[in-house]
């Protein structure tokens, strides 16, 4: 497998990195506002894990969408699905320990991999009211592993201390435009930094202490095969939508 | 046959100020848009809105001064349009209380109401600040001794749901995902159904399993073509991206939002 030669966008590196984290046979879920998880899951199903079970908040099971929606609740995500599930079914699945992977995100993420999606400032009278954690407070402790993704990697996002803990739990990896973090003994540590990211830039962008240096592995760049599959799944570039 | 057909005006007029109102659909999809606009036109006050994931519906009801509290897991326009500016402004100014839920706790609260029990155990929530912030208690499982969070029953005074087809008795067919609509219909004291079209209920007899909402749970049926607008209603129309973009552009500023509402929802040009 050869390395893809052309410039690769951060969104593409993230989608491929997220896809590589999914394993054959896993049951995988994403919720609202999740274009990158949608694309990563479709990519993993095509390349590495054809028997993965893809579930989503739109209610479909293993869909084969003709056109990728930017809203991940969109009925366009039902195409190809042979049965439907409700959101309640999906929470129940996680509650009884049968959901392998949940993709979640946080406006703030701390060094333990906990997230804030609720408020900046006091919860009752916030400086910034955030959208809310959707299902994360329930899914994060109950899904077998949680993959966080965040399209911003800066000190306001990766913080020492959350204003509010919306959810905590079984975070396994965090994928960002700069890196892949892995949780070990309850703390996020660097698994790899993406090609072209310097240890100094990474350290400055991260608001909690992380060990990174010359010996830190570099994320293997997307291969020609991965990029071809990505562009076939997503010819309109929905993968970039979270980078606005 | 009990003919429950009525006008949108009359159906919404039966909702009291202060009511707990559950809205069907999810984010940009199959929300009861026409009914939400009617809530605004009738100037309802002090509503508590119940939804797992809301968007324009919650945002507009906050901007228009109809909502006093929002019990939801997520309020936002997803990736296409981002944050819900009016909701955000109203909560930050203290005009609206954000009763944040995990979406699963909305489901659990509805289920408690459905099952006639005061509360419902729910998996998860460990390590979250939400239980403390929202007053969700935990109990010791009398059998295993383990701690489990319990959420109080969430019984809507009224559920407003938009479906693709209904008959005059209120049997409602939903095409595509049902979201929390069926749970809301079972949990609520009253149910208002708006439908793209009213059909002869004889059409449902051949395959009653395709009917999501049984008519005996429904109190009022309103024919509302394009009644989800600006939400999507599969397979008939997608969400109205231009309209939603225009709204989101003004929603953060209370004065601009009021002008938008006066012109586009209350004004003569309003009627879609």
CATH code of the domain covering residue B63 = 3.40.1080.10
pLDDT of residue A7: 85
Determine contact, residues B202/B165, Cβ cutoff 8 Å. Answer: no
Shortest distance, CA B93 to any CA of chain A (angstroms): 8
Q: Domain of residue B125: give its range.
A: 119-152
Kindly state whether residues B37 and B137 are assigned to the same domain: no
Average pLDDT over chain A, rounded to an integer? 96
Query: Within an 8 Å CB–CB cutoff, is residue B81 touching chain A?
Result: no
Kindly state whether residues B70 and B104 are assigned to the same domain: yes
Kindly state whether residues B138 and B66 are assigned to the same domain: no
DSSP A198: -
pLDDT in tens, B59-94: 999 999 999 999 999 999 999 899 999 999 999 999
Kindly state whether residues B26 and B63 are assigned to the same domain: yes
| B203 located within any domain | yes
Among B176, B172, B157, B175, CA closest to B222: B172
Cβ–Cβ below 8 Å for A129 and B94: no
- Considering only CB atoms, B177 lies closest to which of A58, A123, A132, namely A58
CB contacts, 8 Å: B183 with chain A? 88
For B149, which residue in chain A has the nearest alpha carbon? A138
Structure-token match 């839920």, residue found: B101
CA–CA gap between residue A81 and residue A94 (Å, rounded): 20
Stated as kind and residue range, the H or E segment containing A16 is helix A10-20
Q: Which chain B residues in 15-34 lie under 8 Å from chain A, judged by CB atoms?
A: 26-29
**To probe the interface with A, which of B25, B106, B127, B180 has the most A CB atoms within 10 Å?**
B127
CA–CA gap between residue B179 and residue A48 (Å, rounded): 31
Which residues contact residue A1 at a Cβ distance below 8 angstroms, ignoring those fewer than 6 apart? A223, A224, A225
List strand residue ranges (DSSP E) for chain A, in order.
27-30, 53-56, 101-104, 108-109, 115-116, 119-120, 128-129, 145-149, 171-175, 179-184, 187-193
Question: CATH number for the A10-221 domain, one of 3.90.180.10, 3.40.50.300, 2.130.10.30, 3.40.1080.10?
Answer: 3.40.1080.10
pLDDT of residue B260: 97
Which residues contact residue A98 at a Cβ distance below 8 angstroms, ignoring those fewer than 6 apart? A27
- Considering only CB atoms, B53 lies closest to which of A32, A96, A119, namely A32
- Considering only CB atoms, B107 lies closest to which of A84, A88, A140, namely A88
pLDDT of residue A1: 58
Tokens of A174: 């965090």
Determine contact, residues B167/B136, Cβ cutoff 8 Å. Answer: no
Low-confidence stretches of chain A (pLDDT beneath 70): 1
CA–CA gap between residue B186 and residue B19 (Å, rounded): 17
**To probe the interface with B, which of A32, A144, A146 has the most B CB atoms within 10 Å?**
A32
| B269 located within any domain | no
pLDDT in tens, A58-95: 999 999 999 999 999 999 999 999 999 999 999 999 99
Query: Within an 8 Å CB–CB cutoff, is residue B179 touching chain A?
Result: yes
pLDDT at B230 over 50: yes
Q: For residue B272, what pLDDT band results from cuts at 50, 70 and 90?
A: very low
Query: Within an 8 Å CB–CB cutoff, is residue B94 touching chain A?
Result: yes
CA–CA gap between residue B185 and residue B195 (Å, rounded): 15
Cβ–Cβ below 8 Å for B74 and A114: no
CB contacts, 8 Å: A166 with chain B? 128-130
pLDDT of residue A3: 74
Determine contact, residues B129/B149, Cβ cutoff 8 Å. Answer: no
pLDDT of residue B270: 55
Cβ–Cβ below 8 Å for A132 and B75: yes
> Tell me, what's the ipTM?
0.95
Q: Which chain B residues in 101-120 lie under 8 Å from chain A, judged by CB atoms?
A: 101-105, 107, 111
- Considering only CB atoms, B122 lies closest to which of A130, A136, A138, namely A138
- Considering only CB atoms, A169 lies closest to which of B84, B126, B133, namely B126
Query: Within an 8 Å CB–CB cutoff, is residue B88 touching chain A?
Result: yes
Kindly state whether residues B66 and B140 are assigned to the same domain: no
pLDDT at B268 over 60: no
Cβ–Cβ below 8 Å for A137 and B29: no
Kindly state whether residues B76 and B201 are assigned to the same domain: yes
Residue A129 — φ and ψ, nearest 5°?
-85, 120
Kindly state whether residues B38 and B164 are assigned to the same domain: yes
Per-residue CA distances from A181 to A187, A211, B176 (Å): 10, 11, 37
pLDDT of residue B16: 98
Shortest distance, CA B54 to any CA of chain A (angstroms): 9
DSSP letters, chain B, are ----B--HHHHHHTSPTT-EEEE-SBTTBS--HHHHHHHHHTT--SEEEEEEEESHHHHHHHHTT-EEEEEEEEEB-HHHH-B-HHHHHHHHTTSSEEEE--HHHHHHHHHHHHHT-SEEEES--TT-SHHHHHT-EEEE-TTT--EEEEEE----SEEEEEEEEE-TT--EE--S--TTHHHHHHH-SEEEEEEEEE--THHHHT-GGGEEE-GGG-SEEEE-TTTTTTSBBTTTB---HHHHHHHHHHHTSHHHHHHHIIIIIISGGG--
Rg (CA), chain A: 17
Kindly state whether residues B100 and B172 are assigned to the same domain: yes
pLDDT at B271 over 60: no
Kindly state whether residues B166 and B128 are assigned to the same domain: no
- Considering only CB atoms, B107 lies closest to which of A59, A91, A166, namely A91
- Considering only CB atoms, A114 lies closest to which of B101, B127, B232, namely B127
Q: Is A200 helix (H, G, I), strand (E, B) or coil?
A: helix
Kindly state whether residues B93 and B161 are assigned to the same domain: yes
Kindly state whether residues B17 and B139 are assigned to the same domain: no
State how many domains chain B has: 2
Cβ–Cβ below 8 Å for A134 and B128: no
Whole-prediction pTM: 0.96
pLDDT of residue B1: 77
* Whether residue B230 has a cis bond before it, omega within 30° of 0: yes
Kindly state whether residues B183 and B68 are assigned to the same domain: yes
């Amino acid at each position: 497998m050869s390395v893809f030669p052309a410039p690769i966008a951060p969104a593409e590196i993230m989608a491929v990195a997220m896809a590589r984290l999914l394993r054959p046979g896993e049951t995988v879920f994403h919720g609202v506002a999740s274009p990158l998880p949608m694309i990563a899951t479709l990519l993993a199903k095509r390349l590495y894990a054809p028997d993965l079970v893809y579930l989503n908040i739109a209610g479909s099971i293993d869909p084969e969408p003709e056109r990728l929606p930017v809203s991940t609740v969109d009925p366009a995500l039902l195409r190809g699905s042979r049965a439907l599930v409700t959101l309640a079914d999906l929470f129940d699945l996680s509650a009884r320990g049968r959901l392998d992977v949940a993709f979640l995100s946080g406006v703030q993420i701390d060094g333990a991999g906990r997230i804030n999606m609720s408020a900046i400032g006091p919860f009752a009278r916030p400086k910034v009211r955030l959208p809310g954690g959707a299902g994360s407070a329930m899914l994060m402790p109950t899904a077998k592993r949680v993959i966080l993704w965040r399209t911003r990697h800066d000190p306001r996002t990766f913080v020492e201390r959350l204003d509010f803990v919306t959810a905590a739990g079984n975070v396994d990896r965090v994928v960002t435009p700069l890196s892949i973090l892995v949780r070990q003994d309850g703390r996020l540590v660097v698994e790899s930094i993406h090609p072209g990211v310097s240890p100094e830039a990474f350290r400055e962008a991260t608001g909690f202490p992380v060990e990174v240096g010359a010996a830190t592995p570099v994320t293997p760049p997307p291969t020609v095969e991965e990029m071809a599959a990505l562009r076939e799944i997503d010819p309109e570039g929905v993968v970039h939508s979270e980078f606005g | 046959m009990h003919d429950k057909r009525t006008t949108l005006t009359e159906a919404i007029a039966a909702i009291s100020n202060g009511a707990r109102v559950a809205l069907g659909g999810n984010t940009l999809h199959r929300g009861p848009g026409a009914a939400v606009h009617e809530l605004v036109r009738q100037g309802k006050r002090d509503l508590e809105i119940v939804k797992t994931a809301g968007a324009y519906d919650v945002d507009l009801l906050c901007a228009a001064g109809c909502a006093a509290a929002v019990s939801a897991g997520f309020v936002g326009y997803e990736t296409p349009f981002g944050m819900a500016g009016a909701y955000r402004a109203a909560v930050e100014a203290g005009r609206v209380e954000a009763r944040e839920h995990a979406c699963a706790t909305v489901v659990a609260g509805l289920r408690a109401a459905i099952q006639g029990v005061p509360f419902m155990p729910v998996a998860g929530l460990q390590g979250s600040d939400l239980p403390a912030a929202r007053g969700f208690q935990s109990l010791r499982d009398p059998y295993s001794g383990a701690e489990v969070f319990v959420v109080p029953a969430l019984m809507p005074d009224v559920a407003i749901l938009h479906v693709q087809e209904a008959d005059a008795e209120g049997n409602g067919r939903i095409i595509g995902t049902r979201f929390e609509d069926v749970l809301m219909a079972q949990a609520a004291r009253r149910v208002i159904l708006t439908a793209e079209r009213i059909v002869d209920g004889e059409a449902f007899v051949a395959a009653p399993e395709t009917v999501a909402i049984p008519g005996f749970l429904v109190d009022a049926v309103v024919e509302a073509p394009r009644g989800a607008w600006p939400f999507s209603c599969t397979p008939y129309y997608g969400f109205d991206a231009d309209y939603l973009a225009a709204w989101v552009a003004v929603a953060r500023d209370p004065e601009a939002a009021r002008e938008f509402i006066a012109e586009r929802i209350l004004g003569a040009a309003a009627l879609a």
